[in-house]
Amino acid sequence: MYSMDNDIDHILVSEDALKAKVNELGAQISRDYAGKDLLLVSILKGSVVFMADLMRAVQIPCAIDFMVVSSYGGANTSSTGLVKIIKDLDADLTGRDVLIVEDILDTGITLSKLVPVLKMRNPGSVKICTILSKPSRRMADIEPDYCGFEVPDEFVVGYGLDYDEKYRNLPYVGVLKPEVYSGE
């Protein structure tokens, strides 16, 4: 029987490490946003797993909303540089403290275009929380306010991250074997 685990070269961040880091981030966010009107904004599809875990780890009242924003397409493994909003927020951001929840901050192109768009909607603040950051690939001047793990420049999947809509449901972050995404 086929197992997605067979396509993984090695595990970069274990399920236990993810759980511990999400609880740590949730505690920090709870402290930082106590008494504020917190809105967690999940950037779909990749952040859905992280968002579900993070919102349960946040111990203060918060609302959630979702956006679909893309600078990747299909089986592309690198950003196209073009950012489009496919599904916009339902919530009014006026005066609210917005925390963008992302799976990975890679080149930074998507968020560098999205943050100014959200700031034009008069929120109290806009900050970024990502479970993974790849600073070696950063092409835009943007950094996360909350970060789980810095990862090397390897093709990672799992915990919401995909390759061609596969592997999102792995409970860990793993490095995909090159032959899987290069077609060798």
Q: Catalytic site residues? A: 106
At 182, which helix (H) or strand (E)? helix 178-182
What is the identity of the amino acid at 132?
Answer: L
**How many whole angstroms separate alpha carbon 184 and alpha carbon 178?**
8
Tell me the two tokens of residue 131: 């479970």
Is residue 29 packed enough to be buried (19+ CB in 10 Å), middle (13-18) or exposed (0-12)?
Answer: buried
Q: In a 3-state reduction of DSSP, which class is residue 56? A: helix
**How many whole angstroms separate alpha carbon 38 and alpha carbon 49?**
19
Cis upstream peptide for 166 (omega within 30°): no
At 112, which helix (H) or strand (E)? helix 109-119
The closest alpha carbon to 173, from 18, 3, 2, 52, belongs to 18
Token pair 């981030």 is found at 25
